[in-house]
Structure 1
């Protein structure tokens, strides 16, 4: 007995599979995580993946020659194997069929294979936000840029799970994203369109969303189009075109970011971001594993960057900022972290502010007042 039979173009199927595999967890002991549910209805085919913290759904509407449903039904198979198989097929029609067992037959001209699956009834539901969720909309290009500006600063350690996420804070029509690993901090903000005018426009909504999930979503976005976002107390949802992404909200107290901003300035300089980045990358090459980079004033209008490693060597390079004011500079930072920050700053000019050898550096893109970066200095004998 045929329980599912659909015919799709390889291009359409590969596009949908590529979108949903972004939500696959890196590792999980739950059998259904990493599985793909195909559900065929008269309206088309829905591809769904449910992971531990994020889930994805892609809608393939019925269309002659691209998506044709001969027999409605459902099947669950390993997503990565189906995606890699379809990705390697020649362009042309692909038939997916499930009969009495949980196996899925994959056939195209000259090829026929079978993937082992599980009972579709065991497949869990995606974490969809409830009706109390706040809804907003913003251009894909803006959202992608914001994620890229902050996601690099999330923590890679699970010792404080909340720091592996990005704090999304909505106040009125303004969305602010913040990420920190305790050493560096990145924040970006923009104006959005609230989709529920009846809701209190000044209501503040906060949710910490997994950084890996947001990075995967950003890779899906094209310059055109919009993303609709729903932020709830326990779940969040993103939707653009045929693709939807669902995520749990990370629990735990996020650090009070406003208290991390340093006080009065000791020194400040402004210069072209690409030139500063190139200098930092060159000098950091010889910094060794510790990536220690020293910045100090050598004469009026000149800052010297130095890196020294006993195993590699030493490199010094001078920069001449367009403007430099304040006290003499002497501070040490992680060179790799500084380079990452300058790449994410996404501007032609940056202003670097220093409040002391022990206080965070503040980096502000000159042409993006909604972005700000902090980088904690490295303690050395000179700064102790």
Structure 2
């Protein structure tokens, strides 16, 4: 195998796939990147068994000299040392692999050599089933992931809650995440008659967010019993699914609210941020929300050790009862507010110790449920 490639192009591809390299493994080959050169492209592949990332670099315009393939072949090379060497090279790169799997990296008079692994021992990624392809705009799915991913559980006590539940039925595509104390939901539409239900690990969707650009590209999804595959731009991301039944969260969604507050999102977000200054040093980051007698929103938090903070904000509109006093985790509310792009939001309250519903005004595309914190 032999090829010439622009340094920045090669470095970006290495960085894209390196997140799937196994840092701790009993199998040394999983610490490497598989590089395959063919007549029209080179492919970089890395895996840690649960997550696999593949990046294809096409020759495209042979006049540009960004990539020129001399002869085809495959090898597996240490991801750590390949990345560090390429970072330190001053110019474009010439790579040659001999029959003994010795990898020579040349650039502007610099000659580096690495020992390769036998590519035949590298795991083969799951195969794509084109008949099960689901297409959705990249920007739509990225929005849905952004609005839900943060709410997954970080505890392994219930593994199924450490991922995002994807559901598709009658063209309605939704993402749901919960850690039992808060829930985030987002949906979009897909032009397909396929139905599916699966739980995707946090790590896979986090990498999708990192790698996918918000553009007009179409994301292609392929879902089997045990795997999900994302294909976008020149990248294919493979991930194992989390096994288990995701809880039915429909019963948690408010049908009737006792009180609905319409608020300026930016003002509320700033107020919660200020209140969390003291809320963060006490259990559950407790912040109190209360409607005052003159129909304003009081936001406060108290620490017996460090002090307290309080402010009053205007309410744009109040529907229903004016009596509202609830303690909530300020961090959870801040996380949810950050995902809402609209300028005005609604907080719906349906009674003591029942979850608060947060959403943009006149929008059911996404919402958040946050359980109150006990004050006693």
**Compared CA separation, residues 87 and 305, structure 1 to 2 (3 A):** same
Cα distance per residue 1:2-35 (max 9 Å; x no partner) = xx22211112212222322243456554434342
Q: Could you tell me which of 329, 338, 342 is aligned with 2:333? A: 338
Residues 41 and 73 in structure 1, CA contact (< 8 A), matched pair in contact too: yes
**Compared CA separation, residues 15 and 193, structure 1 to 2 (3 A):** farther
Runs of 5+ in structure 1 lacking a partner? 195-200
**Compared CA separation, residues 340 and 75, structure 1 to 2 (3 A):** same
Give 1:54 deviation, angstroms.
1.5
Residues 95 and 103 in structure 2, CA contact (< 8 A), matched pair in contact too: yes
Q: Could you tell me which of 248, 251, 260 is aligned with 1:259? A: 251
What root-mean-square deviation, in Å, do the aligned CA atoms of Structure 1 and Structure 2 show? 2.0
In structure 1, C-alpha distance between the alignment counterparts of 2:84 and 2:318, rounded to whole Å: 54
**Partner residue, 1:43:** 40
* Equivalence map 1:158-169=2 (5 Å): 158-169=156-167
Give 1:281 deviation, angstroms.
0.4
Q: Could you tell me which of 207, 213, 226 is aligned with 2:218? A: 226
* Equivalence map 1:52-131=2 (5 Å): 52-62=49-59, 63-64=61-62, 65-90=65-90, 92-130=91-129
Cα distance per residue 1:14-71 (max 9 Å; x no partner) = 2222322243456554434342100112222111112232211111123531222223
Cα distance per residue 1:299-324 (max 9 Å; x no partner) = 23212111111232100111212012
**Partner residue, 1:217:** 208
In structure 2, C-alpha distance between the alignment counterparts of 1:46 and 1:33, rounded to whole Å: 16
* Equivalence map 1:139-158=2 (5 Å): 139-158=137-156
Residues 129 and 222 in structure 2, CA contact (< 8 A), matched pair in contact too: no
TM-score, with length taken from structure 2: 0.92
Residues 130 and 222 in structure 2, CA contact (< 8 A), matched pair in contact too: no
Runs of 5+ in structure 2 lacking a partner? none
**Partner residue, 1:372:** 367
Residues 351 and 365 in structure 1, CA contact (< 8 A), matched pair in contact too: yes
* Equivalence map 1:16-35=2 (5 Å): 16-24=13-21, 27-35=24-32
Residues 129 and 234 in structure 1, CA contact (< 8 A), matched pair in contact too: no
In structure 2, C-alpha distance between the alignment counterparts of 1:208 and 1:358, rounded to whole Å: 28
In structure 2, C-alpha distance between the alignment counterparts of 1:174 and 1:83, rounded to whole Å: 42
> After alignment, is 221-230 or 246-255 more displaced?
221-230
**Compared CA separation, residues 132 and 186, structure 1 to 2 (3 A):** same
